[in-house]
Amino acid sequence: MPPPSASDAQPTVIRLHPISVLVAGNDLLFRERALDVLADLGPVTFAALAPGGRDELLAVVGEQRPDVVVLDATGCEAATGRLIVALAQIGTPTGVVVVCDQATAGARRLGALPKWGWTQDLRRAVELASLGERPQVPDGFAAAARPPGPLAGWAEDGPAPAPEAS
């Protein structure tokens, strides 16, 4: 057996402080998975994310001040976009990671990770999100602070795409 090379060595990471993570969603299996993947980063807490429960979640974020919020956008991509805008507006230094079951157009606009994808992708996304100062508002969701209406140009899964220039 050849001796291990430097590229085979596992990097030693020294975390100066734990990363606190709040997982928001209703999928109990995903909560278990998130706990398994993220527990060694720091404390992981959970919040149910009911439709229209934006204010409750914002209150939990304001109270707990997690470093990162993991949002399950499955079936509620537009609402998740509005929630990200609201998190950015309250000014707490909280990173956001979005996961979704399906790669819908709304999920792609949110930059959502596959909910059941590689565990290291979720872990790495949380680590990177913890370094940001505010949630990154996805393109096209800037007008999402108010609930969508028929005149706001919103489709069911998020803002309508901008018309192409001719």
Domains of the chain by start residue, with CATH: 16-138 (3.40.50.2300)
Q: What pTM was computed for the model?
A: 0.73
User: What's the whole-number mean pLDDT along residues 89-93?
Assistant: 80
Contact by Cβ (8 Å): 74, 27? yes
Instruction: Look up residue 38 and give its two tokens.
Output: 């993220």
Whether 3 has a pLDDT exceeding 70, the answer reads no
Per-residue pLDDT of 117-156, as tens digits, reads 889 999 999 999 998 755 555 555 544 333 333 333 334 4
Write 40-45 long-range contacts (CB < 8 A, 24+). Answer: 41/15, 41/123, 41/126, 41/127, 42/17, 42/18, 42/67, 43/18, 44/20, 45/20, 45/21
Whether 83 has a pLDDT exceeding 80, the answer reads yes
At residue 159, the pLDDT reads: 44
Mean pLDDT rounded to a whole number for the chain = 77
User: What's the whole-number mean pLDDT along residues 72-97?
Assistant: 87
User: What's the whole-number mean pLDDT along residues 53-82?
Assistant: 90
